[in-house]
Chains A and B, each alone.
Chain A
Amino acid sequence: EIVLTQSPGTLSLSPGERATLSCRASHSFSSKYLAWYQQKPGQAPRLLIYGASSRATGIPDRFSGSGSGTDFTLTISRLEPEDFAAYYCQYYDSSRVTFGPGTKVDIK
Protein backbone atom coordinates (compact mmCIF):
# COMPACT_ATOMS: atom_id res chain seq x y z
CA GLU A 1 0.00 0.00 0.00
CA ILE A 2 1.31 3.42 -0.99
CA VAL A 3 1.27 6.07 1.75
CA LEU A 4 1.71 9.71 0.76
CA THR A 5 3.18 12.31 3.09
CA GLN A 6 2.93 16.01 2.31
CA SER A 7 5.09 18.76 3.73
CA PRO A 8 4.89 21.25 5.14
CA GLY A 9 1.46 20.97 6.70
CA THR A 10 1.03 24.72 6.41
CA LEU A 11 2.98 27.15 4.27
CA SER A 12 2.67 30.85 5.10
CA LEU A 13 3.69 33.08 2.22
CA SER A 14 2.95 36.46 0.70
CA PRO A 15 1.43 37.13 -2.73
CA GLY A 16 4.14 37.13 -5.38
CA GLU A 17 6.31 34.63 -3.52
CA ARG A 18 7.19 31.16 -4.75
CA ALA A 19 5.55 28.14 -3.12
CA THR A 20 7.17 24.71 -3.08
CA LEU A 21 5.03 21.82 -1.85
CA SER A 22 6.36 18.33 -1.31
CA CYS A 23 4.69 14.94 -1.66
CA ARG A 24 6.67 11.90 -0.62
CA ALA A 25 5.62 8.30 -1.18
CA SER A 26 6.34 5.25 0.95
CA HIS A 27 7.29 3.26 -2.14
CA SER A 28 8.53 4.25 -5.55
CA PHE A 29 6.04 4.35 -8.41
CA SER A 30 5.69 5.60 -11.95
CA SER A 31 5.16 9.34 -12.17
CA LYS A 32 2.12 8.76 -14.37
CA TYR A 33 0.19 7.80 -11.23
CA LEU A 34 0.69 11.13 -9.41
CA ALA A 35 -1.78 14.04 -9.51
CA TRP A 36 -2.23 17.30 -7.61
CA TYR A 37 -5.47 19.05 -6.62
CA GLN A 38 -6.34 22.46 -5.23
CA GLN A 39 -9.24 22.98 -2.84
CA LYS A 40 -10.51 26.37 -1.78
CA PRO A 41 -12.79 26.72 1.26
CA GLY A 42 -16.36 25.73 0.48
CA GLN A 43 -15.45 24.37 -2.96
CA ALA A 44 -14.84 20.97 -4.47
CA PRO A 45 -11.22 20.13 -5.28
CA ARG A 46 -9.90 20.96 -8.75
CA LEU A 47 -7.40 18.94 -10.75
CA LEU A 48 -4.17 20.91 -11.29
CA ILE A 49 -1.55 18.42 -12.41
CA TYR A 50 -1.65 14.84 -13.68
CA GLY A 51 1.17 12.51 -14.57
CA ALA A 52 3.31 14.43 -12.06
CA SER A 53 4.03 17.27 -14.48
CA SER A 54 1.19 17.82 -16.98
CA ARG A 55 -1.12 20.74 -16.32
CA ALA A 56 -4.84 20.06 -16.52
CA THR A 57 -7.02 22.06 -18.88
CA GLY A 58 -7.22 25.73 -17.96
CA ILE A 59 -4.54 25.64 -15.26
CA PRO A 60 -2.23 28.68 -15.35
CA ASP A 61 1.42 28.06 -16.16
CA ARG A 62 2.53 29.42 -12.79
CA PHE A 63 1.62 25.93 -11.53
CA SER A 64 4.16 23.23 -12.30
CA GLY A 65 4.77 19.71 -11.12
CA SER A 66 7.92 17.66 -11.04
CA GLY A 67 9.50 14.62 -9.49
CA SER A 68 9.81 10.90 -9.81
CA GLY A 69 10.11 7.73 -7.78
CA THR A 70 9.12 8.70 -4.25
CA ASP A 71 9.57 12.48 -4.32
CA PHE A 72 7.21 14.85 -6.08
CA THR A 73 6.88 18.62 -5.98
CA LEU A 74 4.21 21.16 -6.83
CA THR A 75 5.58 24.64 -7.45
CA ILE A 76 3.60 27.85 -7.73
CA SER A 77 6.01 30.32 -9.25
CA ARG A 78 4.35 33.52 -8.06
CA LEU A 79 1.42 33.28 -5.68
CA GLU A 80 -1.74 35.06 -6.73
CA PRO A 81 -4.41 35.91 -4.13
CA GLU A 82 -6.63 33.11 -5.47
CA ASP A 83 -3.88 30.50 -4.93
CA PHE A 84 -4.20 30.52 -1.14
CA ALA A 85 -5.87 27.16 -0.62
CA ALA A 86 -5.25 23.55 0.34
CA TYR A 87 -3.32 21.27 -2.00
CA TYR A 88 -3.47 17.48 -2.14
CA CYS A 89 -1.36 14.97 -3.97
CA GLN A 90 -2.96 11.73 -5.09
CA TYR A 91 -1.80 8.31 -6.25
CA TYR A 92 -3.98 6.07 -8.42
CA ASP A 93 -2.83 2.83 -10.00
CA SER A 94 -6.14 1.46 -11.37
CA SER A 95 -6.81 -0.60 -8.26
CA ARG A 96 -6.68 1.92 -5.47
CA VAL A 97 -6.45 5.60 -4.77
CA THR A 98 -4.53 7.36 -2.03
CA PHE A 99 -4.58 11.03 -1.14
CA GLY A 100 -1.91 12.82 0.82
CA PRO A 101 -2.97 14.70 3.97
CA GLY A 102 -2.66 18.06 2.25
CA THR A 103 -0.69 21.28 2.50
CA LYS A 104 -2.47 24.50 3.34
CA VAL A 105 -1.01 27.62 1.74
CA ASP A 106 -2.09 30.66 3.69
CA ILE A 107 -1.32 34.35 3.58
CA LYS A 108 1.58 35.49 5.72
Chain B
Amino acid sequence: EVQLVQSGAEVKKPGESLKISCKGSGYSFTNNWIAWVRQMPGKGLEWMGIIFPGDSNIRYSPSFQGQVTISTDKSISTAYLQWSSLRASDSALYYCVRHGGNYSFDYWGQGTLVTVSS
Protein backbone atom coordinates (compact mmCIF):
# COMPACT_ATOMS: atom_id res chain seq x y z
CA GLU B 1 0.00 0.00 0.00
CA VAL B 2 1.35 3.38 -1.01
CA GLN B 3 1.66 5.77 1.91
CA LEU B 4 3.10 9.21 2.50
CA VAL B 5 3.56 9.84 6.20
CA GLN B 6 4.39 13.35 7.26
CA SER B 7 6.05 14.63 10.41
CA GLY B 8 3.96 16.06 13.21
CA ALA B 9 2.60 19.51 13.89
CA GLU B 10 5.07 22.27 14.69
CA VAL B 11 4.81 25.47 16.70
CA LYS B 12 7.59 27.93 16.02
CA LYS B 13 8.49 31.55 16.59
CA PRO B 14 9.11 34.04 13.80
CA GLY B 15 12.70 33.89 12.62
CA GLU B 16 13.20 30.25 13.59
CA SER B 17 14.13 27.55 11.10
CA LEU B 18 12.11 24.43 10.37
CA LYS B 19 12.36 21.25 8.33
CA ILE B 20 9.34 19.00 7.91
CA SER B 21 9.41 15.56 6.38
CA CYS B 22 7.41 13.16 4.26
CA LYS B 23 8.29 9.45 4.18
CA GLY B 24 7.11 7.37 1.27
CA SER B 25 6.48 3.65 1.42
CA GLY B 26 4.82 0.95 -0.61
CA TYR B 27 6.38 1.99 -3.91
CA SER B 28 9.75 2.81 -5.45
CA PHE B 29 10.38 6.25 -3.97
CA THR B 30 12.91 7.29 -6.60
CA ASN B 31 10.51 6.77 -9.50
CA ASN B 32 7.84 9.37 -8.71
CA TRP B 33 7.94 13.14 -8.37
CA ILE B 34 6.95 14.47 -4.93
CA ALA B 35 5.34 17.90 -4.60
CA TRP B 36 4.56 20.15 -1.66
CA VAL B 37 1.23 21.95 -1.42
CA ARG B 38 0.27 24.69 1.02
CA GLN B 39 -3.21 25.27 2.37
CA MET B 40 -3.68 28.34 4.51
CA PRO B 41 -6.54 28.31 7.03
CA GLY B 42 -9.87 28.25 5.24
CA LYS B 43 -8.21 28.71 1.84
CA GLY B 44 -7.43 26.71 -1.29
CA LEU B 45 -4.46 24.68 -2.46
CA GLU B 46 -1.18 26.30 -3.54
CA TRP B 47 1.62 24.42 -5.28
CA MET B 48 5.03 25.18 -3.79
CA GLY B 49 7.40 22.99 -5.75
CA ILE B 50 8.19 19.50 -6.93
CA ILE B 51 11.22 17.22 -6.75
CA PHE B 52 12.24 14.00 -8.46
CA PRO B 53 13.93 11.85 -5.81
CA GLY B 54 15.81 9.85 -8.39
CA ASP B 55 18.07 12.76 -9.36
CA SER B 56 16.90 15.62 -7.07
CA ASN B 57 15.67 17.63 -10.03
CA ILE B 58 13.58 20.43 -8.48
CA ARG B 59 11.11 22.96 -9.79
CA TYR B 60 9.74 25.74 -7.60
CA SER B 61 6.63 27.80 -7.95
CA PRO B 62 7.68 31.42 -8.58
CA SER B 63 5.63 32.33 -5.50
CA PHE B 64 7.82 30.17 -3.27
CA GLN B 65 11.21 30.33 -5.02
CA GLY B 66 13.76 31.54 -2.50
CA GLN B 67 11.31 31.22 0.40
CA VAL B 68 11.61 27.47 1.00
CA THR B 69 13.95 24.62 0.15
CA ILE B 70 12.79 21.23 -1.06
CA SER B 71 15.07 18.21 -0.82
CA THR B 72 15.05 14.44 -0.53
CA ASP B 73 17.08 11.67 1.03
CA LYS B 74 16.40 8.72 -1.21
CA SER B 75 18.27 6.36 1.11
CA ILE B 76 15.39 6.70 3.57
CA SER B 77 12.63 7.48 1.05
CA THR B 78 11.98 10.87 2.57
CA ALA B 79 11.26 14.30 1.15
CA TYR B 80 11.73 17.54 3.05
CA LEU B 81 10.42 21.08 3.07
CA GLN B 82 12.43 23.62 4.99
CA TRP B 83 12.48 27.26 5.98
CA SER B 84 15.50 29.19 7.20
CA SER B 85 13.52 32.00 8.81
CA LEU B 86 9.82 31.51 9.43
CA ARG B 87 7.22 34.26 9.30
CA ALA B 88 3.73 34.35 10.75
CA SER B 89 2.40 34.14 7.20
CA ASP B 90 3.96 30.66 6.87
CA SER B 91 1.32 29.34 9.28
CA ALA B 92 -0.55 26.76 7.24
CA LEU B 93 -1.16 23.10 6.57
CA TYR B 94 1.45 21.57 4.29
CA TYR B 95 0.85 18.45 2.24
CA CYS B 96 3.32 16.26 0.40
CA VAL B 97 1.83 14.58 -2.63
CA ARG B 98 2.99 11.93 -5.07
CA HIS B 99 2.81 12.45 -8.79
CA GLY B 100 1.38 9.19 -10.06
CA GLY B 101 1.83 9.85 -13.75
CA ASN B 102 -1.01 11.20 -15.85
CA TYR B 103 -0.14 14.73 -14.70
CA SER B 104 -1.99 14.29 -11.41
CA PHE B 105 -1.30 13.59 -7.76
CA ASP B 106 -2.61 10.25 -6.65
CA TYR B 107 -1.45 10.00 -3.04
CA TRP B 108 -1.43 12.70 -0.40
CA GLY B 109 0.23 12.82 2.98
CA GLN B 110 -1.90 13.54 6.02
CA GLY B 111 -0.60 17.10 6.23
CA THR B 112 1.70 18.90 8.66
CA LEU B 113 0.29 21.91 10.47
CA VAL B 114 2.83 24.65 10.98
CA THR B 115 2.01 27.47 13.39
CA VAL B 116 4.31 30.47 13.59
CA SER B 117 3.55 32.80 16.44
CA SER B 118 5.46 34.96 18.85
Contact = CB atoms under 8 A, between A and B. Distances in A.
A32 B45 contact: no
Interface in B61-118: 61, 95, 99-100, 102-106, 108-111
B44 A101 contact: yes
A56 B106 CA distance: 8
Contact count band on A? 20 to 34
Main secondary structure of the interface of B (DSSP, over half): strand
Interface string A52-74: 00101100000000000000000
A68 B104 CA distance: 17
Interface of B: 35, 37, 44-47, 50, 59, 61, 95, 99-100, 102-106, 108-111
16 contacts: A34-B103, A35-B102, A35-B103, A44-B95, A45-B108, A47-B100, A56-B106, A88-B45, A90-B105, A92-B103, A96-B59, A97-B35, A99-B44, A100-B44, A101-B44, A102-B45
